[in-house]
Amino acid sequence: MGPDPAVATVRVAVRHALAEVPSGMPVLVACSGGADSLALAAALAFEAPRAGRPAGGVTIDHGLQEGSAARADAVVRLMYGLGLDPAGSVAVTVGRAGGPEAAARDARYAALDDAAARLGAAVLLGHTRDDQAETVLLGLARGSGARSLAGMPVEFVRSDVRYFRPLLDLDRATTRRACAAQGLEPWDDPHNEDPAYARVRVRRDALPALETAVGPGVAAALARTARMLREDTAALDEWAARAHAQAGGTDLDLEVLAALPRAVRTRVLRRAAVEAGCPAGTLAAGHVDEVDRLVTAWHGQRHVDLPGRVRAGRRCGRLIFGPA
């Protein structure tokens, strides 16, 4: 008799992800003890030996709740019990920049970067299709562009560490069933029920209201939209990279810029601003729009000041980015 269908589904997703990891590279699972990451950890522990792949796990103690250290220790024991080795926890200090959700995420990823870099490992994350739908809705509410609406990528690199999200096509119900079928008891983080967080309000209120109003399948439809937007965004980014080089790379040829479609040109302008020292996280669409006006609606305006004390201005047929 084979495994429960939910268990098999999670294992197949992990098997496909492992096939994308470079040969010989160890893999770590980021496990909070919640249903999604716990099902992912169990699947990795099953699949990695069969793929001849070293596999371990790490849990992050954010220190935001009483007893968090004991909870992290329990997750480490659970990962060892599944057969993941090494398994460990990392305590982090969560700052305040960008709000509590963003600050916790920044601290978590920094710790994962360090843990993975020490082992030369890739990292598996437990985000599901439901997480993807929430991300898209949050992007819509904030008026974000295609990049944000494209949601979370299946694979990405940061700080030279490769990250994978094997479960993006699976829903939370599947991971919960997988845990139950294997006798695993997930931990439900109280923060995931706290309406002070925008993502929780989307999960508890917005998505169910949409399901009621327009019918079932909203989360799957939003995730599907995100996947299509990611493909479109990747194509535009590739075009913009070529256009950036064609325009001169640093000081950009205004004629080349003016001939580009706006969707490509604004990507080139954003890239040039970031390369000149503008912090990507504070460079808003409005800033890029003002720089774009130097190209398409110039009436003698001198320059545009950008975050990071970067300035963009016209000179001798070129768009120059430099210190303010």
- Residue numbering of the annotated binding site: 32-37
Three-state DSSP string of the chain: CCCCHHHHHHHHHHHHHHHHCCCCCCEEEECCCCHHHHHHHHHHHHHHHHCCCCEEEEEEECCCCCCHHHHHHHHHHHHHHHCCCCEEEEECCCCCCCCHHHHHHHHHHHHHHHHHHHHCCEEECCCCHHHHHHHHHHHHHCCCCHHHHCCCCCEEEECCEEEECCCCCCCHHHHHHHHHHCCCCCCCCHHHHCCCCHHHHHHHHHHHHHHHHHCCCHHHHHHHHHHHHHHHHHHHHHHHHHHHHHHCCCCEEHHHHHCCCHHHHHHHHHHHHHHCCCCHHHCCHHHHHHHHHHHHCCCCCCEEEECCCEEEEEECCEEEEEEC
Strand partners, 313: 303, 320
Contact predicate 56/151, CB 8 Å: no
Helices 5-20 and 35-50, packing angle to 10 deg: 60
Candidates 147, 131, 156, 157; CA nearest to 223 is 131
Candidates 75, 78, 104, 103; CA nearest to 89 is 75
Question: CB-hemisphere CA count at 13 Å for 155?
Answer: 13
Summarize the annotated binding site for ATP as residue ranges: 32-37
